[in-house]
Chains A and B, each alone.
Chain A
Amino acid sequence: MNLEEKLKSGKFVITSEIGPPKGTNIAPHIEEAEHLRGKADAFNVTDIQSSVMRLGSLATCRLLLEKGLEPVFQMTCRDRNRLALQSDLLSAAVFGIRNVLVLTGDHTVLGDHPQAKPVFDLDAVSLLKVASGLMEGKDMVGNELDGKPEFFLGAVVSPGYEPQELQLIKMEKKIEAGAKFFQTQAVYDLAAFEKFMKTASKFGVPILGGIVLLKSAGMAKFMNENVAGVNVPDRYIKMMAAADKKERANVSIGIAAELIKGMKDLCPGIHIMPLGWEKHVPAVLEASGF
């Protein structure tokens, strides 16, 4: 079963994530994905995450496929105009990539090439619409395609975003434009997440709760200050601060497991973003009862 089928079947879905390197040394990352074979149902590959130049998502997704692992091709709108975006979607299809997660993308100034020209010719909504159009055999301006792609389109939503109504309006637009599944921004507050899911689940589209492993109290505080929509409660910060260096990973795993267990009844699956701690994901899954 592929990701779409698993979601339909009602199985609790687990997706993980790979952040390609700044360079060509992709092998270790594919290795780590191997360790989760059978445990994670699919692997997101980020697209120049945080606007830091890296190896591309398209190539990495293809390498995963060659290993028999299921990729989710992340596509941002920051770097490519509508021509390149459509072209890369066709390339993805030809490579056998089916799952496409569409997002706007961080602004260039936040990354390591702040002088670069930000493109944003399309955004998540319009890119979803374009991708849906390609699936029907037409490009964006109505030309017939010689061979049409098939995708399982997804998008992102941020439960902690304020004002929440605005985020939900955009979520609806994404669904109308063709989004068939969602992955959320990192969740740390189960009560807030439950409240969000009450409304969001009414749209009838599967939403996978996002989990980010905390590496330190400092990281938690940094995210609270700088990352939109992320709210790490004091309790967790204190727990991380109290742990000494050797213990930190375990505390982090514990927190993640607590959150995942809490989410089991709220959403049809989870999306884990290890952010470099790929090696701890198996432990997280074990601690969560998988």
Chain B
Amino acid sequence: MDYTKYRLKKAEEISEILSGISRISVLWCRKCYKEFKEDSEPECGQLKAMLEGSGTEITVCQPVDFLCNNHLTGKILEQMQGDEPVGVISCGLGIQFVAGACKGKRIIALADSVPQSGNATSIVGYHGIALGPEKCAACGQCYLEITGGICPVVDCAKSLLNGPCGGASSDGKCEVNKELPCAWVQIYERLKKQERPLSSRVEIRNYNIFKIDEKIKQEKLNRNERAEGYYGGVHPQEMKDGTESIPLDVFPSPEKIIVFLSQHTGLPAKPVVKAGDNVRVGQKLGESAGLVSAPVHSGVSGKVIAIEERMHPVSRTLQPAVIIENDRKDTVDSSVKPVPNPDSLSREELLGILRDKGLVGMGGAMFPTSVKLCPPKPVDTLIINGCECEPYLNADNRLMIEHAEEILKGARIAQRLLCAQKVIFAVEDNKKEAAESVDRLKDNYPEVEIVSPKTKYPQGAEKMLIKKLLNRNVPEGGLPFDVGAVVLNVSTLYSIYRAVYEGMPLIERAVTVAGESAIKPGNYIIKIGTPFSDILKYCFNGKSADMLKQGCELKMGGPMMGIVQFDMESAVIKGTTGLLLLEKPVVEASEENECIKCGRCVDVCPMELHPHYYAYYGKRGEWGKAAEYRVKSCIECASCQYICSSKIDLLSFIKKAKKHVNNKN
């Protein structure tokens, strides 16, 4: 079905409306709720043909995706210069929005809305987020119970509620429209199948069921919720109550650790140990290979078994790793020494220490911290990221509850290195205990402002957080320092504290392990390099093997942006925020599914992109065209995939389009 909501007005009407108008610019809506099978729609061309030789010139014919999307269309309107009238080809929603937004300009409706209900008695009928024939009149007093699931309001031409009129033909067709069956005959047949009689109650409709003030309130609430903090974003079920009260616990030391030489953005570390070497806790295993690189260290004492390739949990390709057999003595290396007087050190010395201790961003991106704290542009604000916006995860949450002081101490160092005037500690409002824990220390850290923004995924993404807290827009292709800000994750700040005040390099981190069938879910402090199989055994016992066989997924990270793991001998890295064993959904995302242009992906993309084009061009293998829709700006938050009504595997298309862009460069 094609639920296009508008139809170009007839030629006579258009020529009457436009008579005397010499120039117009035209906005036309690319339509919604029809299978996304072609890239363009004919109305603009039809209009041009109508106006040929008429005396009205079309200055520009601008297509707009989902014209009624106020935020995005508003941006297009801002760009439009000229004061000639604007013709709008869209349904009534789009025209009204443009008219309201372009005060002072004449807005001309060039299209009529298309009636949806087909029922002059019940004049409106709403389809679902599907292209099926069923419609709902939103009457607020559902009668489907007594009609076996056939709506008498929309399907009966007279919207009768107590049985048929006498008008149906002998073959059960409606007197109003002979193509349609009599709804009450259908209802009767359906109820017979269910061995139920027609209801004996007398039904009378109540037309006053919607209180206007309630409706207005609901709409305001919805719009405010959608626009909170930044454009787009979604509110998935948080699923945090499984582990939010479980304090941090040390995960049992593993038999061996697998320490990847690449656990950071940039060049992999160069190994400085070899097979047979004895190593101690905190000892360097690999050295930085360049400016944007980081060393890796051992979290256990024992013997290096080998340096060989293992399955990397991010790239899912084989990459070199140092395999160490744990002697369980926990002998600490001599290099693990607290810095005696950090305040007396120069910036360069401090940065050197952070670099040397292998610190990287622990929110997932793993960017070398020492490079991040030395930005090429001046920075006025340090943002402490305690959002942890992914569902299930509580590692950062527990860290804030139990180690707020250390985080703040680490933040002080970071602030000093950045020469930032302001420090904002952001804790999403679903973590009250964490916010309170930080708040208790605020007298000792008066430079820190604690903010609890309303929870909305993906608020923890740098660009969204900066928009929400500072109302600054990181430019396309730019980085936070372009607008004077740096964002650091609380785990990263904690590791800065440990590096400076304990001398301990990054060898372990807090990880949330969870999933519906976990027997020991929790927030564990796990040594970097601990194999996933150890964790599955401990937290899921024997169940995990069966679950994986049944197609459950082991995700490293959160359910939205987490990376699916296929090799259980892969291991925890510096960016492992969580390990989740999740049930397979009944309906999985697939590249095969068809887009129906419901517009929800565009509605929720926090980077203001048009994800449905990635699917459209992706399916056709036109990766170049997909890339034209700013795929480079995508942060892969998966909000689009989460909300996609067709369950399209949008992330898969996005990743392929990005690869195409990278290969070209």
Please report A residues at the B interface, Cβ cutoff 8 Å: 108-109, 114-118
Contact = CB atoms under 8 A, between A and B. Distances in A.
A117 B139 CA distance: 12
Interface string B192-210: 0000000000001111110
Nearest to B121: A117
A65 B521 CA distance: 88
Given A108-B208, A115-B209, 6 more contacts: A114-B208, A115-B205, A115-B207, A115-B208, A117-B205, A117-B207
Interface of B: 204-209
15 contacts: A108-B207, A108-B208, A109-B208, A114-B208, A115-B204, A115-B205, A115-B206, A115-B207, A115-B208, A115-B209, A116-B207, A116-B208, A117-B205, A117-B207, A118-B207
Contacts of B205: 115, 117
Q: Which applies to chain A's interface (DSSP): helix, strand, loop or mixed? A: loop
A116 B205 CA distance: 8
A245 B206 CA distance: 41
Nearest to B206: A115
Contacts of B208: 108-109, 114-116
Contacts of A116: 207-208
B235 to A, nearest CB: 34
A255 to B, nearest CB: 36
User: Which 5 pairs across A and B sit closest by C-beta, in order of nearness?
Assistant: A115-B206, A114-B208, A117-B207, A115-B208, A109-B208
A109 B206 CA distance: 11
B388 to A, nearest CB: 48
A84 to B, nearest CB: 15
A116 B204 CA distance: 9
Nearest to B207: A117
B10 to A, nearest CB: 20
A116 B208 CA distance: 7
Nearest to A113: B208
B148 to A, nearest CB: 25
Contacts of A114: 208
B187 to A, nearest CB: 22
Nearest to A114: B208
A114 B208 CA distance: 6
A114 B206 CA distance: 8
A290 B204 CA distance: 51
A168 B208 CA distance: 32
Nearest to A109: B208
B139 to A, nearest CB: 11
Query: A109, A115, A118 — which one has the most chain B CB atoms within 10 A of its CB?
Result: A115
- Which of B204, B205, B206, B207 is packed against the most chain A CB atoms within 10 Å? B207
Contacts of B204: 115
Contacts of B209: 115
Nearest to A115: B206
A109 to B, nearest CB: 5
A262 to B, nearest CB: 39
Nearest to A116: B207
A80 to B, nearest CB: 15
A117 B159 CA distance: 12
A115 B208 CA distance: 5
